[in-house]
Amino acid sequence: MNVMFKLSKIMLLTMFVFSIYLQHANAKKLVIAHRGASGYIPEHTFSGAVMAYALGADYLELDVVMTKDGHLIVMHDLTLDATTNVEDVFPGRKNKKGKYNVIDLNLNEIKLLKIHERSSRQTTDAYFPSRFPIEAQIFEVPTLDEMILLVKGLSQSFGRNMGLYIELKAPEIHRKHNLDPAKSLLNILNQHGYQDATDPIFIQSFDSETLKSLRFEHKTRLRLIQLIGENQWKLSATDFTYLKSKNGMKEVSQYADGIGPWMNQVVTEIDFTGKIQITDLVENARQYDLLIHPYTFRKDRLPSYVSSFEELLNVFFNEVQVDGIFTDFPDLVVDYLEKNRKY
């Protein structure tokens, strides 16, 4: 009797997980433009956002950090060195570590800067040499409010909505400076009419405590995504090793709608037989009906187990069945999904 009961439980659980798998397999796959169309235009620029829209992206990913006077700007790094001409504009304003912090400048000062293609950490050479010329310093630093107005304007002009996918960068560091980017973000989104789970927006963060605060203290109904990193990256006090476990995914499901894992945390390799090695993270997430949006898919940074960008997309969309991906090349993903669309 006990054996039959246990077998019944296992069968019911298997059927439940499989039904979730089919649900995600048949749902529309999201193309998330990583920092805009950043494979073609420097990241987090108005031009990059317009191009992402023109190339058919479903969502525009925007990283936000705060200025000294409490304005949210669209910028990936907490420092300005790698993507702006800050050293030319403000010589002598480096911090003790030899860097220029966003949080040390006010918005008026930030607006004097120009964005260029990302440089490498070791040199001033371009991080992606085949992309936009790094010498071209012609792009303005956008505020979040300005970027939202641009995206909503494009949606109205052309009749197709492009959603927002906003990451709160290092909220715990901002709090040490008596700044609250999460509260400021919700205020701005509320002003623009983003309030409900059905609105075309996601908020993501590596910091689990910030996401819990958004859900339980601020009572937001907006969709939240728990980004998954590695503990050695030191992005947050969050224990990512624990979060990747079954118990961790259960906890995530209580405050978030999905996860944003590093792609190497989802697929490790393709073995000599051609079989894809998918980690337990996928099954753990699916058991709690969490969306899976891995990062970052680049045609000029392929993992060793594939020889082409299309092969990489096939692995994640057809084998793993992820719900969407972050990519620097939204047009290539849009074209792939259109070509492989199942009627």
pLDDT digits (tens, 9 = 90+) for 110-124: 999 999 999 998 888
106 in a structural domain: no
- Span 95-151, pLDDT tens digits: 988 999 999 999 999 999 999 999 998 888 999 999 999 999 999 999 999 999 999
What does pTM read for this prediction? 0.92
Q: Residue 71 carries which DSSP code?
A: -
Residue 115 lies in a domain: no
Number of domains the chain is built from: 1
- In terms of pLDDT, which residue wins out, 14 or 145? 145
Distance CA 306, CA 121 (A): 27
Q: By residue range, what is the domain housing residue 209?
A: 29-78+144-339
The answer as to whether 15 is a domain residue is: no
Q: Is residue 205 assigned to a domain?
A: yes
Query: How far is 231 from 238, CA to CA, in rounded Å?
Result: 8
The DSSP result for 172-207, as a single string, is HHHHHTT--HHHHHHHHHHHTT--STTSSEEEEES-
User: Per-residue DSSP letters for 298-310?
Assistant: -TTS--TT-SSHH
Digit-coded pLDDT (tens) for 257-296: 999 999 999 999 988 888 899 999 999 999 999 999 999 9
Q: What is the mean pLDDT of residues 163-174?
A: 97
Q: Is the pLDDT of residue 16 over 90?
A: no
pLDDT-derived band at 75, boundaries 50, 70, 90: very high
Q: Residue 256 is part of a domain; what is its CATH number? A: 3.20.20.190
So what's the pLDDT on residue 281?
97
Q: Provide the token pair at 343.
A: 């009627």
| Band of pLDDT at residue 2, cut at 50, 70 and 90 | low
133 within a domain of the structure (yes/no): no
The answer to whether the beta carbons of residues 267 and 279 sit under 8 Å apart is: yes
Mean pLDDT of the chain, nearest integer = 93
Residues marked active site are found at: 34, 76
**Whether the predicted pLDDT of 22 surpasses 50:** no
- For the purposes of burial, counting CB atoms within 10 Å of the CB of 251, is it exposed (0-12), middle (13-18) or buried (19 or more)? middle
Classify residue 87: in a domain, yes or no.
Answer: no
On whether residue 200 sits in a domain, the answer given is yes
Share of the chain above pLDDT 90, in %: 87
Asked whether 70 and 177 are in contact (CB, 8 A), the reply is no
Give every CB contact of residue 333 below 8 A, 6+ residues apart in sequence: 31, 297, 313, 325, 327
What is the predicted pLDDT for the residue at 21? 47
Q: Name the 3-class secondary structure at 42.
A: coil
Is there a domain that residue 260 lies in? yes
Count other Cβ atoms within 10 Å, centred on residue 177.
13
